[in-house]
Amino acid sequence: MEASAGFTAGELAARFGCELRGDPAARVTGVCTLQHGREGLLSFLANDSYRRYLADTAASVVVVAPRDAGEVAGTALIHADPYLIYARIAALFAPPRAAVRGVDAHATVAAAATVAPSAYVGPHAVIGAGAVVGERVRIGPGCVLAEGVRIEADSELVARVYLGPGVRLGQRVLLHPGVTVGADGFGQVYDGERWLKVPQLGSVRIEDDVEIGANTTIDRGAVEDTVLETGVKLDNQIQVGHNVHIGAHTVIAGCVGISGSTRIGRRCMIGGGVGIGGHLDIVDGVTITGMTMVTHSLTAPGVYSSGVPVAPNRTWRRNAMRFQHLDELARRLSALERRLTRESPGAGEEESS
């Protein structure tokens, strides 16, 4: 059935493995939020912050976890992971764009470049010598591919993307507007009088099914390549330094900065605004919460935090002043404990008994 005609709740339940409660004939022609639900639309509950909208939503169908099914007045699709099911259903209403092919008259393609017949190169794009553009690749307007770039099948550069010399993209890679991959890394050495630039001789290798958000920058390696493994997802405005290696299926939120030569493991989750120092190792399965500053390697899976939660300014200022005296207070406390121990020599024996 075409998405334009919609789907019944029964069809969706069978297709995505959900338990159905309510009317199997309830028709879904689109998606919505709980608070702005309308007849014929589907919504979901995956965050307790929106629970207050569940009972009164006007959405015809709601995807919920088993514990929430009793609160749905209409038809419910029940699954252990409502957000996952919502994402799969929403994809039915976002079909892929019609395929286009050919090179726009306002694009510039070097004679020594290779562009597959099924690929598309948009206006004002520039493709350098030796570049290879694979089948069904879409190069949007204003993109620049330097010499020796290679892009595998079904990848897309949305607009104004820069790929530096020798950059390699795998299959189904999606780069959003303003992404820069393969600019020089920040390599400088001081000779006693001034800073000298260290040549950046590596490149960048991005494997299959990677998505990179708008205005994110990934530096080329100093000697070896910077690497993003399969399935990595990067948000907007992230800085990835030279020779960084990011493991498969790791996700990183916006405004994260990763210093050079750090290795991040597989299936990690890194929150917004995190800063990660250079030459560190982060093992598989690590979660780092927003605004954390990582200054040493993380050698065990788990959740790590260092950001200070928000507080009323007056309270925060008091705490900030007290923080400056923590070392002094710790010393005074230690001295007091030693004094009490000397004055009460039997205290430790009584406590131990």
Residues with pLDDT less than 70, the chain: 1-4, 345-353
Quick: pLDDT tens for 317-337: 999 999 999 999 999 999 999
Report the distance separating Cα 320 and Cα 14, nearest Å: 56
- What was the pLDDT predicted at 1? 45
Report the distance separating Cα 308 and Cα 343, nearest Å: 39
Extract the tokens encoding 16: 């995505």
Report the distance separating Cα 247 and Cα 283, nearest Å: 9
Active-site annotation holder among 79, 176, 242, 245: 242
- 0.85 exceeded by pTM: yes
Percent pLDDT > 90 in the chain is 92
Report the distance separating Cα 297 and Cα 283, nearest Å: 8
What count of Cα atoms within 13 Å lies in the side-chain half-sphere of residue 75? 22
- What was the pLDDT predicted at 10? 97
Report the distance separating Cα 210 and Cα 141, nearest Å: 21
- What was the pLDDT predicted at 102? 97
- What was the pLDDT predicted at 345? 64
Extract the tokens encoding 183: 């600019």
Between the CA of residue 238 and those of 193, 271, 317, what are the distances in Å? 32, 11, 30
Q: Does 242 participate in catalysis according to the annotation?
A: yes
| Burial environment of residue 193 by CB neighbours within 10 A (0 to 12, 13 to 18, 19 or more) | exposed
Contact 53, 72 (CB under 8 A): no
Listing DSSP states for 239-260 in one string gives: EE-TT-EE-TT-EE-TT-EE-T
Quick: pLDDT tens for 234-267: 999 999 999 999 999 999 999 999 999 999 999 9
Between the CA of residue 260 and those of 221, 228, 244, 327, what are the distances in Å? 9, 14, 6, 32
